[in-house]
Chains A and B, each alone.
Chain A
Amino acid sequence: MTYLLRRLAVFPLVLIGVSIVVFVAIRMVPGDAITAMLGTEAGLLTPAQREALAAYFGIDQPWFVQYGRWLLGLLHGNLGISSTYGKPVLDVIIERFPLTLELALLSMIIALAVGVPAGVFAATHNEKLSDLGVRVAAMIGQSTPNFVLALLIIYTLSAGFGVLPAMGEFSPLWQDPLRNLSQLILPAITLGFAFAASVTRVSRSAMLDVLSDDYVRTARSKGVSARGVIWRHALPNALIPVVTLSGIEFGYLLGGAVIVEQIYALPGLGRLVLDAILQRDYALVQGCVLFIAFNFMIVNLLVDLAYVALDPRIRLGEQ
Chain B
Amino acid sequence: MVQHLTRKLLSGMALPGIALAVMLGTAAVPIQANAATLHMAWSQDATGLDPHKQTAFSSLRLLELIYEPLVRVDANLRIVPAIADSWQFSADGKELTFKLNPKAKFQNGAAVTSADVKASFERILDEKTGAAARANFLSIASIDTPDPATVVFHLSQPDVPILTAMSDVNAAIVPAGEIAAGSVGTKAIGSGPFKLDKWDPNAKEVLSANKDWAGGATGVDGIEISVLPDETAILAAMRTKQIDFALLNDPLVATLVPKDASLQLNRVPVLAYHVLQLNPSRKPMTELKVRQAISCAIDRQDVLDTASLGEGKVTGPLTIPSLATDPSQLFCYKRDVEKAKQLMSEAGYADGFSATVIGATGEPPTAAAEAQVIQSQLAEIGVKLDIKMMELNVYVDAWLKGDFDMAIALNGGRADPYTMYNRYWTKAGNLQKVANYIDDTLDSQMQQGRAETDPAKRKAIFAEFEKHLAEVSPWIWLYTSYSYTAQQKNIAGFVPTPTGTLFSLSKVTIQQ
Binding site for B on A (CB under 8 A): 29-32, 34-46, 48-50, 52-53, 56, 84-86, 151, 154-155, 157-159, 162-170, 176, 178-179, 181-183, 185-186, 262-265, 267, 271-272, 275, 278-280
Contact = CB atoms under 8 A, between A and B. Distances in A.
B240 interface: yes
Interface stretch (B348-356, B396-404, B501-509): B396-404
B237 interface: yes
A41 B132 contact: yes
Taking residues whose C-beta sits less than 8 angstroms from the other chain, chain B's interface range is 35 or more
Given A151-B230, A185-B20, 9 more contacts: A50-B130, A158-B236, A164-B239, A165-B28, A168-B204, A168-B228, A179-B27, A182-B23, A186-B24
Given A35-B400, A39-B55, A56 B230 contact: no
Contacts of B53: 37-38, 53
Contacts of A176: 27
A49 B228 contact: no
A5 to B, nearest CB: 40
B391 interface: yes
A52 B130 contact: yes
Contacts of B431: 40, 43-44
A86 to B, nearest CB: 6
A182 B230 contact: no
Contacts, number: 186
Contacts of B235: 158
Contacts of B203: 169-170, 267
A192 B273 CA distance: 43
Say what secondary structure dominates the interface of chain A: helix
Contacts of B394: 29-31
List the 7 closest A-B pairs by CB distance, nearest first.
A168-B226, A31-B393, A182-B27, A158-B236, A30-B397, A53-B130, A41-B55
B47 A36 contact: yes
A56 B229 contact: no
Contacts of B376: none
A279 B24 contact: no
B233 A154 contact: yes
B28 A262 contact: no
A166 B201 contact: no
Contacts of B400: 35, 40, 42-43
A49 B127 contact: yes
Contacts of B24: 157, 163-165, 182, 185-186
B242 A37 contact: no
A76 to B, nearest CB: 24
Interface in B22-44: 23-28, 30, 39, 41
B500 to A, nearest CB: 15
A251 B314 CA distance: 51
Contacts of A85: 201
B253 to A, nearest CB: 12
Given A31-B396, A49-B134, A265-B229, A159 B236 contact: yes
Nearest to B394: A30
B107 interface: no
A179 B400 CA distance: 46
B78 interface: no
Contacts of A48: 127-128
Contacts of B433: 43
B397 A31 contact: yes
B369 interface: no
Nearest to B390: A30
Contacts of B20: 185
Given A52-B128, A158-B239, A265-B229, A178 B397 contact: no
Given A48-B127, A168-B41, A168-B204, A43 B27 contact: no
B309 interface: no
B202 interface: yes
15 contacts: A38-B53, A38-B132, A39-B55, A43-B431, A44-B134, A163-B25, A164-B24, A165-B28, A168-B228, A178-B23, A178-B27, A183-B27, A265-B230, A265-B233, A278-B392
